[in-house]
Amino acid sequence: MWEYSNKVKDHFLNPRNVGAMENPDAVGETGSLSCGDALKLFLKINGNDRITDASFMTFGCASAVASSSALTEMVKGISLDDALKLTNDDIADYLDGLPKEKMHCSVMGQDALRKAINAYRGIQIMEKPGNVVCECFGVTDLEIISAVKENHLKSAEDVTCYLKAGGGCGNCLERIEEIVEEARAKA
């Protein structure tokens, strides 16, 4: 059983800004229902590129709901440039921490935010760039390398906590460990 902070419990039991938004300026989606976690983030953006409102719909665990709720509170009133600087660790810190095994929930929030802002700016993102390493969760080598660098991950177990990769059948764990070692050697 995981130990949740009071803030995580509060955002899970009393989530803020839940539900679809009418006429959003930007939408970011990440995750997959088949993987067990999915997030759809809606943003209203004014003419000065400032986020004026945010809401979400998510399917997932308590940490997914809390992370999504926290994210919507964090982005209201800030510029798109500042929003792009938010990291998954910022979301976890806002919640007074997340269990290591649940950090992927904050990663989903950061990913949905980036996708929403990039879509608003007309920046096309290749869906899932790189080669798929984890077939169960559709995680690519480039996503693993990015997570290792951004979060200073040290093992395949760390990658599973952040991206869920390797958390299904486990057939990819050896390849994930190799990617982690290669990424750390180049850092």
Q: Where are the domains of the chain?
A: 6-121, 132-186
Tell me, yes or no, if the pTM score tops 0.75: yes
Q: Is the model's pLDDT at 167 over the cut of 90?
A: no
Assign domain 6-121 to a CATH class: alpha beta
Q: Is the model's pLDDT at 35 over the cut of 80?
A: no
Kindly state the average pLDDT of the residues 153-182: 93
What is the chain's mean pLDDT, rounded? 92
Kindly state the average pLDDT of the residues 109-134: 89
The yes/no answer on whether domain 132-186 falls in CATH 1.10.10.1100 is yes
Q: Is the model's pLDDT at 124 over the cut of 90?
A: no
d(CA 70, CA 35): 22
* Cα Rg of the chain (Å, integer): 16
Residue 98: how many CB atoms within 10 A of its CB?
26
What is the percentage of the chain residues whose pLDDT exceeds 70? Answer: 97
Q: Residue 90: what pLDDT?
A: 96
- Is 134 marked active-site? no
Q: Is 40 within 8 Å of 27 (Cβ atoms)?
A: yes
Q: Is the model's pLDDT at 126 over the cut of 70?
A: no
Q: Residue 68: what pLDDT?
A: 97
- Choose, from 35, 134, 161, 172, the residue flagged as catalytic: 35
- Choose, from 61, 105, 161, 169, the residue flagged as catalytic: 105
Q: Is 114 within 8 Å of 139 (Cβ atoms)?
A: no
DSSP lists the bridge partners of residue 27 as 42
Kindly state the average pLDDT of the residues 15-19: 98
DSSP lists the bridge partners of residue 53 as 44
101 pLDDT tier (thresholds 50, 70, 90): confident
- Is 172 marked active-site? no
Q: Is the model's pLDDT at 34 over the cut of 70?
A: no
